[in-house]
């Protein structure tokens, strides 16, 4: 399949944030590890059990990557046979609830963004310029509730016509990825049919969402060397970096 996005075929491009536009997936993985390891270590000591740390490669990819924060907490804990009270999204970070652990991780992410800033991928910035030049509608679709802060820090917020993020998921009671709801919401807000939209994702849950939503083209970004895995989960096309993609104009329908 050609590594091009053409204006004849598509009207909009919907991009995930972390690991696709900005180099923040590694920050999230590190913060998930720090938060879960502190919790698991404390739990193991209290129960006299062996401490099995969070694996930032396997556990991150399978249970939390691309998902809404509290879904990630819940799914990882379930993989370890641990059930915590739900609590609420407003729980303090010290609470031993799904809400508390999720907010503890979020505080860690916000501190790193504040202290170190955010770097966008050069190839992604190039693609955004090409898409804007050819008249595509562009949306960012992410489970992150830090989306606005990250885009501001990366100086990319002006590129996007629409933002569907973790705050939208909560406000609109949407199912997070791998359900297609967030991408379908973005297409609806942009006024385009899913068949005329491109989804770009690096998370397995994200390419599954694009595939199940019947989007015209689902592009996986294999930042983790997992091209085959992305294809198995629904990517039509896989690249290592968005700089490999070309954008062609044409007569839009």
- pLDDT tens sequence across 136-191: 999 999 999 889 989 998 999 999 999 999 999 999 999 999 999 999 999 999 99
Does 132 lie in the same domain as 9?
yes
- Residue 253, in any domain of the structure: no
Q: ∠ CA 157-216-24 to the nearest 5 degrees?
A: 35
pLDDT at 240: 96
Question: Domain range spanning residue 132?
Answer: 4-23+119-248
Distance CA 83, CA 63 (A): 15
Q: Say which CATH number the domain at 207 has.
A: 3.40.50.1000
Q: Which residues are catalytically annotated?
A: 16, 18
**Helices marked H in 10-54:** 25-47
Q: What does the pLDDT look like over 72-84, one tens digit per residue?
A: 999 999 999 999 9
Count other Cβ atoms within 10 Å, centred on residue 39.
20
Q: Where among 116, 133, 149 does a domain terminate?
A: 116
Task: Tell which residue, 83, 103, 84, 108, has the closest CA to residue 92.
Answer: 103
Q: Rounded mean pLDDT of the chain? A: 94
Of 58, 56, 57, 65, the C-alpha closest to 37 is 56
Q: What's the domain count of the chain?
A: 2
Q: Coil, strand, or helix at residue 190? A: helix
């Amino acid at each position: 399949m050609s590594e091009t996005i053409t204006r004849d075929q598509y009207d909009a491009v919907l991009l995930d944030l972390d690991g696709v536009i900005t180099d923040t997936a590694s920050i999230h993985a590190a913060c998930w590890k720090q938060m879960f390891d502190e919790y698991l270590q404390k739990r193991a000591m209290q129960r006299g059990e062996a401490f099995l740390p969070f694996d930032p490669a396997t556990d991150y990819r399978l249970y939390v990557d691309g998902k809404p924060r509290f879904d990630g907490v819940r799914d990882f804990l379930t993989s370890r046979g641990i059930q915590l009270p739900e609590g609420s999204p407003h729980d303090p970070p010290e609470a031993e609830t799904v809400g508390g652990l999720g907010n503890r991780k979020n505080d860690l992410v916000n501190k790193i963004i504040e202290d170190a800033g955010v770097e966008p991928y050069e190839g992604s910035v190039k693609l955004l310029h090409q898409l804007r030049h050819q008249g595509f509608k562009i949306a960012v679709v992410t489970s992150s509730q830090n989306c606005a802060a990250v885009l501001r820090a990366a100086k990319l917020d002006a590129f996007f016509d629409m933002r569907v993020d973790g705050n939208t998921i909560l406000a609109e009671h949407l199912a997070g990825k791998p359900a297609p709801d967030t991408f379908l919401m973005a297409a609806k807000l942009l006024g385009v049919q899913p068949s005329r939209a491109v989804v770009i994702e690096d998370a397995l849950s994200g390419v599954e969402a694009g595939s199940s939503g019947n989007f015209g083209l689902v592009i996986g970004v294999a930042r983790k060397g997992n091209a085959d895995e992305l294809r198995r989960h629904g990517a039509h096309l896989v690249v290592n970096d968005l700089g490999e993609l070309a954008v062609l104009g044409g007569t839009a329908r």
